[in-house]
């Protein structure tokens, strides 16, 4: 049995039925699926309100406080019995975990979660992206890239490391198409998510109805708008209905790796209009939406085009659903991950 310890620092909120981001949901989904196979024993180390160990849905979850002392103590107690350490989403504690894992002669994996991990778009992300990835990558044995851009950069720079490309996973269930009532945006209050672009679009389209998830009214700073409903953070168990009820999703991100919201939208047969993000020509391959390539005027044209054409919305939503059912299904992706883990 291979014992794997995963650090997805903010995934503690998912384990306690709260809202969390895409990288946390990806780690949660992947390794909950892997844990169903008896060849693996999966544990998480995550941020929590207090230090405690709990078994949740068959997965061992080690909660620790958000400070170096608590995290180090919990990690040291756990890493001794593990075979592999894997990390998702860079934070200030992560390099210390990788160093401790290597000191204990453990194999290490890093799952890339953003193109900034490989030095793209550093002007849009926190300053620590300029140095923390370099430290973590030196201590990483195996990289799991989300898209071919990440994969190619790693292949060129780290010729002595194991590097794999693994698509983000999604649970696919049968779903009946439903005409939507509003345009949906999902994200967090971060410069990378293009909230400035979102504001411009909302203000330019007073006749169109929008629902916004993940940020507050104060963060969006649009007051008393009759075409707008700002819902704040929604936990993963309840967010699905908002995708199902929308007409289409818009994404204004300036840098991503692979947005899980794309998969959530397509899994509800709802198409997407993206301002800039289009990993591995996702929209050309899926025929499930459009990318404006950073052109705000073209972004607006696509929104107008969709808003007036329910037939096109339905057609592209179904295209997207069929594409991810084939390419991103959790069963397929978890099989590929198990094959990678067996080589480590």
Q: Cα 285–291–294 angle (5° rounding)? A: 145
60 pLDDT exceeds 80?
A: yes
How long is the chain?
344
**How many whole angstroms separate alpha carbon 151 and alpha carbon 154?**
5
Reported as a pLDDT band with limits 50, 70 and 90, residue 122 is confident
237 pLDDT exceeds 90?
A: no
State the sign of the Cα–Cα–Cα–Cα dihedral 88, 94, 97, 99: positive
19 pLDDT exceeds 80?
A: no
Return the CATH fold of 183-327.
Answer: Rossmann fold (3.40.50)
Residue ranges in the chain assigned as alpha helix (H): 12-15, 22-34, 68-79, 94-103, 132-138, 148-157, 195-204, 217-220, 236-245, 260-266, 282-286, 296-307, 310-327, 330-341
140-170 confidence digits (pLDDT tens)? 999 999 999 999 999 999 999 999 999 999 9
Reported as a pLDDT band with limits 50, 70 and 90, residue 324 is very high
242-267 confidence digits (pLDDT tens)? 999 999 999 999 999 999 999 999 99
Cβ neighbours, 10 Å, residue 92: 12
Select from 250, 260, 317, 285 the least CA-distant residue to 19.
260
Architecture field, domain 2-169+329-341: 3-Layer(aba) Sandwich (3.40)
Residue 44 is predicted with a pLDDT of 96
Domain extents in the chain: 2-169+329-341, 183-327
Strand, coil or helix: 274: strand
255 phi/psi in degrees, rounded to 5: -155, 140
Mean pLDDT of all residues in 46-51: 91
**How many whole angstroms separate alpha carbon 242 and alpha carbon 46?**
28
């Amino acid at each position: 049995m291979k014992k794997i310890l995963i650090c997805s620092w903010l995934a503690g909120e998912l384990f306690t039925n709260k809202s969390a981001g895409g990288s946390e949901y990806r780690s949660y989904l992947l390794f909950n699926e892997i844990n169903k196979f008896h060849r693996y024993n999966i544990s998480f180390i995550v941020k929590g309100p207090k230090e405690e160990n709990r078994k949740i849905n068959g997965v061992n979850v080690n909660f620790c406080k958000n400070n170096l002392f608590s995290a180090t103590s919990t990690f040291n107690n756990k890493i001794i019995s593990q075979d592999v350490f894997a990390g998702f989403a860079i934070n200030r504690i992560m390099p210390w975990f990788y160093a401790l894992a290597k000191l204990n002669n453990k194999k290490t994996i890093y799952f890339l979660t953003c193109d900034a991990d490989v030095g793209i778009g550093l002007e849009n992300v926190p300053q620590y992206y300029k140095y923390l990835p370099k430290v973590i990558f030196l201590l990483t044995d195996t990289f799991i890239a989300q898209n071919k851009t990440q994969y190619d950069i790693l292949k060129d720079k780290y010729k002595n490391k194991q590097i794999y490309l693994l698509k983000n996973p999604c649970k696919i269930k049968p779903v009946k198409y439903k005409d939507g009532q509003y345009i949906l945006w999902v994200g967090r209050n971060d410069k990378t998510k293009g909230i400035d672009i979102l504001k411009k679009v909302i203000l330019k389209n007073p006749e169109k109805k929008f629902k916004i998830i993940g940020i507050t009214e104060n963060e969006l700073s649009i007051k008393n708008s009759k075409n707008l409903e700002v819902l704040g953070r929604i936990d993963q168990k309840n967010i699905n209905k908002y995708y199902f009820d929308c007409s289409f999703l818009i994404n204004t991100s300036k840098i991503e790796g692979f947005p899980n919201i794309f998969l959530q939208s397509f899994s509800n047969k709802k198409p997407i209009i993206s301002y800039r993000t289009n990993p591995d020509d996702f929209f050309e391959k899926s025929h499930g939406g459009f990318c404006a390539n950073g052109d705000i005027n073209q972004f607006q044209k696509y929104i107008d085009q969709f808003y007036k054409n329910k037939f096109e919305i339905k057609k592209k939503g179904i295209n997207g659903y069929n594409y991810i059912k084939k390419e991103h299904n959790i069963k397929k992706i978890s099989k590929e991950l198990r094959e990678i883990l067996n080589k480590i």
